[in-house]
Structure 1
Amino acid sequence: MKNKPSMSIIRGLLFTYDIENTDDLEREKIIASKDINDERELSELFDELTKPEFLLYTKIEQEWFIDSIDHYLSINDSFDAVFKTMTTYFSTPVNNQREFMQILLSRLKHYRSTH
């Protein structure tokens, strides 16, 4: 049974980067040190902070994240529902929210295929 695409679960996956998340100075430094508008640095950030959390989810939950991001990309969504509702530790604003999500999707698919 497939879950319906959900913006809220995407936002939940990105909660690591939200200032509402529990204080963790080391994590905050890592996040702030990366240029999130650079594909390589954003991928490194996802590999370091998103991958371990993503791999804790069940295969069905992992598919839900992937399918949700894929769905919203396919309908040309801006992802404002995610980005406008969170304040992050990013040192600069996300210049292209769709590109950010495409990189995230690519990394999630990579994690799935290698584990």
Structure 2
Amino acid sequence: MNNEKKPSLPILRGLLFTYCIENTKNLEREEIISSKNINDESELSELFHTLTKPEFLSYREDEQKWFIETIENYLSTDESLESVFHLFDTYFEDEILDKRRFIKVLLDCLKLYRLELNDTKT
């Protein structure tokens, strides 16, 4: 029996919940989020390094791989990724202009975190 999890866009909302207004009030986090230009890849990467990395690394290895495989799967299709952001109010100052690029930057960061984790194990 195959225990692999199938790609699922809704899980990305869970990973991005850090940036959601519905998340617990935390002024420091809100200031970090609103200070970044999320349409600039380097600032977006900095934001992910600061806020997404610790959460991502708290997940089990199979969950981390599931996030990465899900993103890779949907980026390989024509999926607009709009459903990830639908009804998702964030602390971002700006509207995300290119949602696929946003998710691609996220993917690159998650892969980097996995590499760093693997490097520390060896």
For the aligned residue pairs, the C-alpha RMSD in angstroms reads: 0.6
Per-residue CA deviation, residues 25-82 of structure 1 (Å, 9 max, x unaligned), is 0000000000000000000000000000000000000000000111111112111111
Aligned with 2:94: secondary structure?
A: coil
- Residue 62 of structure 1: aligned partner: 64
How far apart, in 2, do the equivalents of 1:78 and 1:90 lie? 20
Give the TM-score, by structure 1 length. Answer: 0.98
- Residue 5 of structure 2: aligned partner: 3
- Give the letter aligned to residue 79 of structure 1: L
How far apart, in 2, do the equivalents of 1:76 and 1:14 lie? 21
- Residue 18 of structure 2: aligned partner: 16
Give the TM-score, by structure 2 length. Answer: 0.92
* Runs of 4+ deviating beyond 3 Å: none
Aligned with 1:75: secondary structure?
A: coil
Structure 2 alignment gaps of length 5 or more: 118-122
How far apart, in 1, do the equivalents of 2:71 and 2:62 lie? 14
How far apart, in 2, do the equivalents of 1:44 and 1:110 lie? 13
Structure 1 alignment gaps of length 5 or more: none
